[in-house]
Chain A
Amino acid sequence: MKFLCVECDRQMTFEEREVPGDGTLAAVFRCPKCERSMAMLTNPMETQLVSSLGVKVGGETVPGTSFEGIRTGVSSGRDEAFVEAATPIQGPVRWTVDAVERLSHVPSFVRGMVKKIYNEYAKEHGIGEITPAIMDRARSDLGLEDM
Chain B
Amino acid sequence: MSPKIRTYFDLPESDSTLPDQIAAQDRRVAARLEDVGAVVAIMSGKGGVGKSLVTASLAASLARSGKRVGLIDADLNGPSATGLLGIPPRSLVESGEGIEPAVTPGGVRVMSMALLLEPDTGLAWRDSADAGFVWRGAQERGALREFISDVCWGELDVLLVDLPPGSQRVAELHGLVPNLAGSLAVTIPSGASRDAVARSLDLARARDLPVRGLVENLAGARCDACDRVSPLYDGEAGRELADQFDVPLLAQIPFDRTLARAGDAGALEPWLESGGSVQDQIRALAETVSGWTPAGPEEA
On A, residues with C-beta under 8 Å from B are 1-2, 4, 6, 9, 11, 13-14, 22-23, 43-45, 47-50, 52-60, 66-70, 72-78, 80-85, 87, 89-90, 109, 112
Contact = CB atoms under 8 A, between A and B. Distances in A.
B2 A76 contact: no
Interface in B126-140: 126-132, 134-136, 138-139
B150 interface: yes
Given A44-B129, A49-B134, A66-B146, A74 B91 contact: no
A74 B123 contact: yes
Give the 6 A-B residue pairs with the shortest CB-CB distance, closest first.
Answer: A59-B16, A44-B129, A23-B128, A52-B135, A85-B95, A83-B91
B94 A74 contact: no
A69 B117 CA distance: 15
B94 A53 contact: no
Contacts of A85: 93-96, 100
| Most chain B CB neighbours (cut-off 10 Å) among A23, A57, A69, A72 | A69
Contact of B128 (A47, A59, A74, A80): A47
A60 B17 CA distance: 10
Interface string B4-38: 01101001101111101110010000000000000
B8 A2 contact: yes
Given A76-B118, A76-B122, A83 B93 contact: yes
Contacts of B142: 52-54, 69-70, 73
A9 B6 contact: yes
25 contacts: A1-B17, A1-B18, A4-B6, A11-B11, A44-B128, A45-B134, A48-B127, A48-B135, A52-B135, A52-B142, A54-B21, A55-B22, A59-B14, A59-B16, A59-B21, A70-B142, A73-B125, A73-B139, A74-B117, A74-B124, A78-B121, A83-B91, A85-B94, A89-B94, A90-B96
A83 B124 contact: no
B92 A81 contact: yes
Given A69-B139, A70-B142, A85-B95, 14 more contacts: A48-B132, A49-B135, A52-B139, A53-B22, A53-B138, A55-B25, A59-B15, A67-B99, A72-B126, A73-B139, A74-B116, A78-B118, A82-B92, A87-B95
A60 B21 contact: yes
B123 A76 contact: yes
B129 A43 contact: yes
B127 A14 contact: no
A78 B146 contact: no
A72 B14 CA distance: 26
Nearest to B111: A67
B117 A77 contact: yes
Contacts of A49: 134-135, 138
A77 to B, nearest CB: 5
Contacts of B93: 82-85
Nearest to A61: B16
A22 B121 CA distance: 26
B59 to A, nearest CB: 22
Contacts of A59: 14-17, 20-21
B194 interface: no
A75 B123 CA distance: 8
A53 B146 contact: no
B115 interface: yes
Contacts of B99: 66-67, 82
Contacts of B95: 84-85, 87, 89
Contact of A11 (B12, B25, B127, B135): B12
B225 to A, nearest CB: 43
A87 B116 CA distance: 22
B297 interface: no
Given A52-B139, A73-B125, A73-B126, A81 B15 contact: no
Nearest to B19: A55
B145 interface: yes
